[in-house]
A = this chain, B = another copy of it.
Amino acid sequence: MKKKPQNLISQKWEILLSQAGYRITQPRRAILDIIAESCRPLTPVEIYDLARARSSGIGLVTVYRTIEKLEELHLVDHVHHLGECQTVFRSSDHHQHLLICTNCGTSCYFDGLEVEEQFNQIGQQLGYEVTGHWLQLAGLCEDCQKSHNSKKVPE
């Protein structure tokens, strides 16, 4: 019987949830794993389906409640892209932005942008005090550039 090596991220999340006074249950663990391992933002129902395929008897309600707690601890971000406005993706530890594949959803955080100064100047010109920004890039990932037509969606 193979022992599945647990994902490092979900391992960390379990500790943090524990420290916040939440309990680590079987359904919750399955949901954490799914989200932590995913290379792309997932909808609640996608998480539900993937988690159920792995360990049965999980309720969609529990998915929503688990997402709620992960958000509260800032361990996941809400991602809006394409039609979906409610997908969830593991958050970066520092302020970063997402580059999302328009075909398969595979997402990467990136940083190193030099834009804050420009943002402040634009605000000044319009009389606003800029307090935040929201930036997301869209494109085709390496795999999807090769197989340009196929609409396969990973994990």
**Complex Cα gap A119–B132 (Å):** 19
Interface residue? A112 (CB, 8 A)? yes
**Complex Cα gap A119–B139 (Å):** 10
Chain B residues positioned under 8 Å from A93 (CB to CB): none
Question: In the complex, which of the residues B114, B118, B122, B141 contacts A99, with contact meaning CB atoms closer than 8 Å?
Answer: B122
Question: In the complex, which of the residues B128, B130, B138, B141 contacts A133, with contact meaning CB atoms closer than 8 Å?
Answer: B138
A contacts with B, residue count (CB < 8 A): 35
Chain B residues positioned under 8 Å from A123 (CB to CB): 99, 137, 139
Q: Quick one: given A80-B80, A80-B85, A139-B128, are A122 and B133 in contact (CB under 8 Å)? A: no
Report whether A142 and B128 are in contact in the complex, using a CB–CB cutoff of 8 Å.
yes
Chain B residues positioned under 8 Å from A132 (CB to CB): 102, 137-139
Instruction: Report A127 CB to chain B, min CB distance, Å.
Output: 4
Q: Hey, what's the 0/1 contact readout for A104-147 against B, CB within 8 Å counting as 1?
A: 00001010111100110011011111111111111111100100
Chain A interface residues (CB < 8 Å from chain B):
80, 85-86, 99, 101-102, 108, 110, 112-115, 118-119, 122-123, 125-142, 145
A-B contact pairs, 15 of them (CB 8 A): A80-B85, A85-B86, A99-B128, A99-B130, A101-B128, A102-B132, A113-B122, A115-B118, A129-B140, A130-B138, A132-B139, A133-B135, A133-B138, A134-B135, A134-B136
